[in-house]
Amino acid sequence: MADDAKTHPEIRHGARSLPAVTVVSYNVELRDADGGFVGDRASFRAFRDLLADWRDRLRAVGDDPLGDQTGEEVGRKALDRALAEGEPEAAGLIHGVVEDFAQELAGVVRRFRRRKGWKDATRIVVGGGMRESRIGEVAIGRATVILKGGGADVTLEPIRHHPDEAGLIGAVHLAPAWIFAAHDAIVAVDVGGSNIRAGIVALNRKKAEDLSKAAVWKSDLWQHRAEARQPDRDDAVRRLTRMVAHLVARARKANVELAPFIGVGCPGRIEADGTIAAGGQNLPGNWQSSRFDLPACLREAVPEIGGHETMVLMHNDAVVQGLSQMPFMRDVPGWGVLTIGTGLGNAFFANRDGVA
């Protein structure tokens, strides 16, 4: 990032001040009384644990309404079907799990709202893998009812974009506006604890200057957690840089004018020099080394785009996913995002005055 910083001093990884918002906080790790992380109570793993517990209790006195499949074999689509059209006992089981998870999610929101900034939030966007299922949407709605029933003036709402795309689309809001001149799209990367995704995001500024119509044109997904041999960091970087280079070539072949910019969302607390200070424990290998610089790796793999030197800007993945919602949140002074996935990502934004 050193070269970018000298040429464009307003550009910093993990920046608090972005073109349209101020990032008040992100990657907050609240602790329980027993020392565990509060966010772990509202992760996808927590939902699976609740489901397993309910099934064990039912098996102790009779049959499991979901049959003999293991928890890993029962996917979100199957749970959605059981909730909507399954036998009454199976639907009741899913309702019970959703209720317990919603209670946990509401409890997590209460803890966050005790913090400075978060306490005034009346709207919180929920993204991540749970968002793409009906059970996730019901849990989000139920948590809102629980919170409002307890007197809290706050609404949880599912993120608008599909969670697989929100983490890419949000990257357009990392870039300064001048970089979009005469360009159609940018390259975006979403690094996660289970998947790594790269894509070309079309800006569609002729449809909406505020980038509310930005959309994924092409994308590539690598499910590294599903690999028989778990990759290390070098494996992951090689695979990611190949994905990015391939997408840049596809855009060139299709005459898509790419801006010389790569926006990256990555778990953890992102330092200005592009290193990850904390929170990258779910990634393959040691990403928190002070000698590891993912933006530099991407610039080395794709040194220029369209004849211009490539600029790479990285921020926390929950921040980037939340930014995809930014054009639709201009009517409130501040708002939060929670991303339910391998863990619980979080960020809180204050809208910048004078930015439409």
- Kindly report the CATH number assigned to the domain that includes residue 266: 3.30.420.40
CA distance linking residue 284 with residue 229, whole number of Å:
11
In a domain, 252, yes or no: yes
In a domain, 146, yes or no: no
In a domain, 35, yes or no: no
pLDDT at 34: 81
Question: If we measure between CA atoms, which residue out of 293, 189, 265, 188 comes closest to residue 27?
Answer: 265
Question: If we measure between CA atoms, which residue out of 345, 355, 343, 327 comes closest to residue 45?
Answer: 343
pLDDT in tens, 137-181: 999 999 999 999 999 999 999 999 998 899 999 999 999 888 888
Sheet holding 155-158, edge to edge: 21-26, 344-351, 334-340, 123-128, 155-158
In a domain, 274, yes or no: yes
Report residue 112 as tokens: 């966050």
pLDDT at 271: 92
In a domain, 142, yes or no: no
Show the beta-strand stretches assigned E in the chain. Answer: 21-26, 123-128, 155-158, 185-191, 196-202, 215-222, 258-266, 269-270, 276-278, 304-305, 308-309, 311-316, 334-340, 344-351
pLDDT at 354: 52
pLDDT at 187: 97
Range of the domain at 298: 162-319
Mean pLDDT, the chain, whole residue set: 89
Number of domains making up the chain = 1
pLDDT at 179: 84
Residue with tokens 């307003």: 10
In a domain, 120, yes or no: no
In a domain, 277, yes or no: yes
In the predicted model, residues of the chain with pLDDT beneath 70 are 1-11, 354-356
In a domain, 141, yes or no: no
Report residue 74 as tokens: 């029962």
